[in-house]
Structure 1
Amino acid sequence: MKDQLQREFHLKNTPKRIVSLVPSQTELLVDLGLEHSIVGVTKFCVHPKHLRLSKKVVGGTKQINLQKIKDLKPDIILCNKEENTKEMIEELEAMAPIHVSDIYNLGDCYELIEMYGEIFQVEREASELISNIQKERETFQLQIKATEKQRVAYFIWKNPWMVAASDNFIDAMITEAGFLNAFKDKKRYPEIELEDVNLKEADYIFLSSEPFPFRQEHVLEFQLKFPEKVIKIVDGELFSWYGSRLLKSFNYFKNLQK
């Protein structure tokens, strides 16, 4: 088989022991009916909440305990190009087949769900999930068809200030939510100054709940500097998780537009 980086990996049988090193993909596995096959997760795999109590926590997304993973004897390890490091993946390849996802848009999300459907023999569940996400998206896009799009600066970090620019999944979801990315002319996650001209031209400033945990005190900080703008903390999971959490994203975007 091939993953989303077109890397080949080989499976003798349907994997029964899964280690997932990506929170959104862990939740996706559960919603595909595969919770019983998960043996290892990260400390950031917070959905569903009980999972970290019943499965072995093997570290984070950037740093892991290799011995813990080896002891679990996984049939497959699920990774992501952006969330996990290249060095980590190279070390894990000695233990089990590795599937690496690479997500930039909804099409990539659907492809990943289809891949999991094939790998874990849950094609029907995967197809149904994709269909349900597509229905949610189509309904929302019809609702906002005539809405004038506002420019958004989407902050993901403080000290240094960092925003989501183009060439990433958050940018795609900003568009899906019916907004324009004020930093579309930049790449990935650039560091910026609060005097940046793109920021000054934004209508809204979104402070993401993750990876940096922006709080109300940060909203007040921005309001003092930008009293004419709308400042809002937004649910980072609904802008950046690319598994089954997408089912919740479009209803959230609907309320955000209001």
Structure 2
Amino acid sequence: MFSPVLLLLASLTSLALTLDSDHSNADQHKKFCTWKCLKFTLQWPGSFCVGLNNSTKCKIPTSIQNWTIHGLWPSHVQDCCECWPIFHSDLKELDPELSQFWPSLLKAQSSFNFWKDEWIKHGSCAGCVEGMNSPLRYFQICLKLRKKFDIDRALNDDAGIKPSCNQSYQYKEIKHALAPITGDDPDAQIQCITDSKGREILFQVKIPLSRNLTFGCHDGRQDAESESTQHWNTYSAHPCQLKSSIFYFPINYNNPHQPCG
């Protein structure tokens, strides 16, 4: 039988561990959950490969014909929680939609590994919000946002801005066409890359959202590029130049690195 002293010591040890755990959880919450805004980022596959530093890295599946998801990123958060694992089985029911609207465009990276990286880097912080507090819920939200912010329809169908190697567009034309999606929010960005011939090429659109996923959010801080630039050593993404002609290259499945030569 344990003595009263030993029982008291065991009880105090247990209490100390509980308090340490609570303190650790509070620290984690403070680190990962203080963000106010998100950026929902969509990319054009026809431009993605142009910016890669190695032409052999890229692939575009022939099933991909529309704008795809790049990510949903809480703003100004570093090093989200790697302790929140994700498994392919978590996304089994979403796999067909994710493969269509959120594919990996890198030969060396499977689509699931792309999703896994996005969850670890960004989704685990977004999981602080009730509606995104699991891998399944986070990716469900991203797919819903992709349907809501339909860039293909806004450009091609509504404004007649179609991919072309020969025709370019003025920034104001693209801005006007995307106004229903980006509005006049100063944190919304229409981004381009510049190819080896100096052409400005439409690449991606960043849409600011609040924690409750309503459009528009501004926390008064300068937004940094939310995604790793390790693959973008050749031509980096930047806000499209207001007075430049902007190309909207078509997808070239056989030569994605130079879709227009």
TM range (shorter): under 0.3
Instruction: Mark the structure with the bigger radius of gyration.
Output: 2
Taking structure 1 as the reference length, what is the TM-score of the superposition?
A: 0.23
Taking structure 2 as the reference length, what is the TM-score of the superposition?
A: 0.23
